[in-house]
């Protein structure tokens, strides 16, 4: 993923414990406008505080005084609802400097300024912030609320409990002296009224209301159940939080208490996807030496929000078409699926380029136009795959790197790298989570393993330790594959799967284990992305979707079983562990004929997974016939979920070798079939193989 260098000069340390004072922030906004008047507005007071201080807002865009929200994504950022949390303000201003100083220099900053409307309110609570300056001019003031004069000697309303959605439903206080006092009613305070009025005017697609100091991202809701849009929150946060390692979840899961009447929940109720980033650090007023690392590690999440407010063409997955593998002398066809993760606008002029520096792969098709991808939609190139010809010098088990570049409107949004193994791949077992958990058994304490639609690498489901929302506390949960895997004839077996996780690092973990004695004892397997937690290789911390490929050669000749194990304590409970496309593969070489240049016929009957899958409107089914079925009738048939045959694609004698058949989702009468799961069955002689596929209209 692209993370541009910071390249920022204007941002500096302030005079209050290293942070800007309110007056210094005001001066910074004036300086920004003086230096970059064409891409930032003059500061505008969206309201005044209880003590009549201005609540400043600026907008950064290519035409900052013009409303272009019909064609540009709108994103909102604020900070300092709580007066003792200046790190959020520093992160916000740091991002503003990055946009302004890199416009016309960095292609990503330039694209965002030209194609987004970005609104910034760096100080929502000026009175409380100035009060901290008055009491602790060198930093360290712990005043939290605004400076409303309540009855008696108590001051202040917690502005992050004063919004209307969920107001006074738990997680706030009726006591005017309490730090979480919610005020006399929703929007009783001019500061929250000002934010409300701005939000109702600009209608942002997404936003951050930034706080500190927990080092987490809080998503809705703060006082009750998970929001119905948790899948979007998980997808985005698991991606942008890899920059700083912050976990994400609800307030109760991340901080151990509830909150109501918050900015985040109000924004969500108005149709804005919103988080409360809790910037990390040693304290509300961290050491000065911490400030620059903190603002830098939070730059990418700020950028990410701007991207997904409009259009954002991103890598989703890949697949080797046909047989699913490539050997020396083969032509490798590669399908790349791209997702527009953006919330509101189509990604236009999407171009995907694939290259390699592997000397034995000659590019035939290395650039494909995906044209336009609608918001939140997927598109692949199954009808025009990337193509590379492998020469005869491609060595068995070589890993070929393919470098993927995805751009929209001429600007590269994502770079990624995938690897393909030079070998014949025989799938011994696979499960893509589309058929439920019938191949697995969940057990243990707080066992919640299941399939989930929240996020997935391919298809429409993955497996997860918690189906919807964060993992449970105090879990010791197993997810065991029911089938014993026969590796007695395997030559170069590997276990491969895709995974993502968000787990409290060093305390909670997921592990993958193997047994050779029917589960009497288990050994934890180390992967490319494990690290040692509690003495064993574990998946912990946070990671977006990656491919694990674990060499099982040490277990060749054995029958083995697999299980995942998830363990958590009573502390933070993150989003947990997801895995998809789980398969055991044996890599081998196709035997060569006596002449040394002609491959022999396939040695076994094989039916491959259709591609693309899910599909609409056309998919390809590949299979191979060994020599022993020469002269035998071959049938390839499609059945619906009730077991009724709906289409016969092949019914006759075929030569040995690999065959491909396309199906357009129609029955034998030519009628278009409805969406759903379909079975395709290959029969040759007295043998048959069956797989499932998903048709989506």
461: nearest Cα among 664, 230, 619, 231: 231
Structure tokens at 286: 């961290």
Residues 133, 117: Cα–Cα separation, whole Å: 32
What is the distance between the alpha carbons of residues 312 and 373, in angstroms, rounded to a whole number? 10
C-alpha–C-alpha distance, residues 531 and 442, integer Å = 24
Residue among 107, 76, 108 at smallest CA distance from 92: 76
φ, ψ dihedrals at 532, nearest 5°? -75, 120
Structure tokens belonging to residue 520? 């009497």
- 146, 161 in Cβ contact below 8 A? no
- If you search the block for the tokens 């000065």, which residue do you land on? 288
Phi, psi torsion values for 156, nearest 5 degrees:
95, 145
Active-site residue 101, yes or no?
A: no
460 vs 54, 281, 452, 456, 677, CA distance in Å? 49, 38, 8, 6, 12
Cα 403-112-121 angle, rounded to 5 deg = 135
Containing 296, the helix (H) or strand (E) segment is helix 288-297
User: In 10 A of CB 71, how many CB atoms?
Assistant: 10
Alpha-carbon distance of 192 to 161, in angstroms, equals 10
Q: How far is CA 49 from the centre of its chain?
A: 38
Are the beta carbons of 555 and 487 closer than 8 angstroms?
yes
Bridge pairing between strands 386-390 and 541-551: unpaired
3-state helix, strand, coil in the chain (%, to 5): 15, 40, 45
Question: Can you tell me which residue has the tokens 């712990």?
Answer: 142
The H or E element containing residue 325 is: none
CB atoms within 10 A of CB 138: 11
Distance CA 262, CA 224 (A): 12
DSSP code string of 512-537: EEEESSTTSS-EEPP-TT-EEETTEE
CA distances from 159 to 85, 287, 631 (A): 13, 26, 80
Q: What are the DSSP calls for 73-136, one per residue?
A: EEEEEEE-SSTT-HHHHHHHHHHHHHHHHHTTTSHHHHHHHHHEEEEEES-S-HHHHHHHHHH-
CA distance 407 to 348: 9
One DSSP character per residue, 473-500 reads: TT-EEEEEESSPEE-TT-SSEEEEEEEE
Q: Token pair of 329, please? A: 């002398």
Question: DSSP label at 170?
Answer: S
Other CB atoms within 10 Å distance of the CB of residue 10: 16
> Which residue in the list 253, 278, 327, 548 is annotated as catalytic?
278
Tell me the HSE value of 662 on the side-chain side, using a 13 A CA sphere: 6
Catalytic residues: 278
């Amino acid at each position: 993923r692209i993370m541009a260098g910071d390249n920022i000069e204007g941002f500096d340390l302030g005079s209050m414990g290293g942070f800007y004072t309110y007056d210094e922030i005001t001066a910074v906004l004036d300086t920004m406008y003086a230096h970059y008047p064409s891409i930032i507005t003059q500061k505008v007071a969206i309201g005044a505080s209880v003590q009549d201080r201005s609540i400043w807002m600026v907008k950064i865009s290519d035409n900052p005084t013009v409303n272009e929200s019909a064609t540009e994504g709108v994103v909102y950022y604020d900070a300092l609802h709580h007066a003792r949390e200046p790190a959020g303000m520093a992160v916000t201003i740091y991002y503003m400097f990055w946009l302004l100083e890199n416009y016309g220099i960095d292609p990503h900053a330039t694209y965002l300024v030209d194609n987004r409307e970005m609104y910034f309110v760096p100080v929502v609570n000026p009175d409380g912030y100035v009060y901290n300056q008055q009491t602790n001019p060198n930093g360290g003031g712990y005043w939290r609320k605004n400076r409303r004069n309540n009855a008696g000697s108590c001051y202040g309303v917690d502005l992050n409990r004063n919004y209307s959605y969920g107001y006074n439903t738990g997680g706030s206080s009726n006591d005017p002296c309490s730090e979480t006092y919610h005020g006399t009613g929703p929007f009783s305070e001019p500061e929250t009224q000002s934010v409300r009025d701005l939000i109702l005017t600009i209608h942002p697609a997404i936003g951050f209301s930034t706080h500190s100091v927990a080092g987490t991202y809080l998503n809705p809701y703060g006082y009750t159940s998970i929001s119905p849009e948790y899948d979007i929150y998980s997808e985005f946060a698991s991606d942008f939080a890899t920059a700083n390692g912050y976990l994400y979840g609800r307030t109760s899961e991340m901080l151990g208490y509830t909150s109501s009447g918050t900015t985040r929940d109000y924004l969500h109720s108005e149709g804005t996807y919103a988080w409360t980033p809790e910037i990390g650090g040693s304290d509300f007023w961290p050491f000065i030496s911490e400030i620059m690392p903190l603002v830098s590690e939070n730059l990418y999440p700020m950028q990410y929000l701007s991207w997904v407010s409009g259009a954002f063409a991103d890598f989703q997955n890949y697949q080797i078409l046909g047989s699913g593998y490539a050997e020396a002398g083969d032509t490798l066809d590669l399908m790349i699926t791209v997702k527009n993760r953006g919330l509101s606008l189509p990604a236009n002029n999407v171009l995907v380029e694939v290259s390699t520096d592997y000397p034995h792969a000659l590019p035939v098709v290395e650039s494909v136009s995906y044209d336009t991808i609608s918001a939140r939609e997927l598109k692949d190139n199954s009808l025009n795959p990337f193509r590379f010809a492998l020469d005869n010098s491609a060595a068995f088990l070589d890993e070929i790197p393919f470098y993927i570049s995805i751009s929209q409107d001429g600007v590269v949004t994502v770079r990624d790298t995938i690897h393909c193994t030079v070998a014949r791949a025989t799938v011994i077992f696979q499960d893509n989570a589309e058929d439920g958990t019938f191949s697995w058994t969940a057990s243990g304490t707080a066992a919640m393993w299941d399939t989930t639609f929240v996020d997935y690498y391919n298809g429409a489901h993955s497996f997860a330790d918690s189906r919807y929302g964060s993992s449970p506390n105090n879990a010791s949960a197993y997810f065991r594959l029911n089938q014993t895997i026969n590796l007695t004839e395997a030559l170069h077996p590997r276990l491969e799967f895709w995974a993502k996780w968000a787990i409290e690092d060093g305390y909670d973990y997921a592990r993958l284990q193997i047994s050779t004695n029917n589960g009497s004892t288990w050994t934890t397997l180390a992967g490319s992305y494990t690290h040692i937690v509690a003495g064993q290789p574990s998946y912990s911390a946070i990671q977006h979707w990656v491919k694990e490929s674990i060499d099982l050669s040490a277990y060749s000749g054995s029958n083995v079983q697999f299980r995942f194990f998830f363990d958590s304590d009573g502390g933070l409970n993150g989003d947990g562990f997801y895995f998809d496309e789980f398969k055991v593969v044996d890599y081998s070489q196709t035997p060569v004929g006596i002449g040394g240049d002609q491959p022999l016929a396939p040695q076994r009957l094989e039916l491959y997974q259709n591609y693309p899958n899910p599909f609409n409107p056309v998919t390809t089914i590949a299979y191979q016939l060994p020599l022993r079925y020469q002269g035998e009738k071959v049938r390839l048939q499609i059945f619906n979920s009730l077991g009724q045959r709906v289409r016969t694609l092949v019914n006759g004698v075929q030569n040995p070798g690999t065959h491909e058949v396309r199906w357009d989702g129609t029955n034998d009468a030519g009628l278009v079939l409805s969406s759903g799961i379909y079975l395709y069955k290959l029969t040759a002689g007295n043998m048959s193989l069956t797989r499932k596929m998903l048709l989506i209209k």
